Structure 1
């Protein structure tokens, strides 16, 4: 039977089991997960947090990671500035990036989500407001969410992947993992 692992990746951890070529050792998945034969299904940048799925099923791994399958991924994104309807509409229609226009996203302003404190904390600036977005995308370009929010004038301060398909990180502490059923 195939395995599916839900992992709440902390900030600063690489989405791989080894850190090749680094002069100083950085945290990797092997610091948290010691299960043979499972591999990440997709990636989450070192400076991003939240849900990372791991599996030993190659077909399932491809289904999660390949944009052709359009699996929904929902992020909570803390951004600089107060996001207005014009910026939300651009996100909802697709944003022009250097590598082409993104697929339309589901985007809305939300209250601060029930997240764990980040270590290190986000720098607070009295003169620059911030707000939270819920952003759902169905593709996975390199640093896509960060590039999308920057393109509409709101650089990302904190990025947490909350959901992939039907799986969520809700109730999991950073660094925690659990097994789940394959859909």
Structure 2
């Protein structure tokens, strides 16, 4: 990946639109949907502010992430094998996201309440929803796999059309007709 003193970023075209990925010395720190120039500029400023280091465009240094994303969207990768940098999340959110990353495999879903139970916070289903909305590593940390216990699809920070597309890719939902 990159040295501890800077973060490298790149934009990757995917089946769900352009994704911005950013990697620091500890690993992948950010995945952002709808990575149009204005969004990228905002994300770069936010990363510089929150991480206190330069953030530079460098597709070569983010290549391992891009390669795994390409394989995932082509249907050939069911588990990401990337070092993750959890710097942009703390406390309850970090606990929930770590459980999600290791405990909800490709092609499966989990309810908000079940995820709250798994981290020992049975009254925190709504807080789990907030943690999903604040996930700095969507797709790789699969918040799209969290659904309502009554069978509803739930929300998604990237938009419901992207959540549906990701769930269809993993075989959980039928592919959209158009």
Pick the TM interval, shorter chain: under 0.3
Point out the structure with max Rg over C-alpha: 1
Whose RCO is larger (CA < 8 A, sep 6+)? 1
Query: Greater helix share, 1 or 2?
Result: 2
Give TM-score scaled by structure 1 length.
0.27
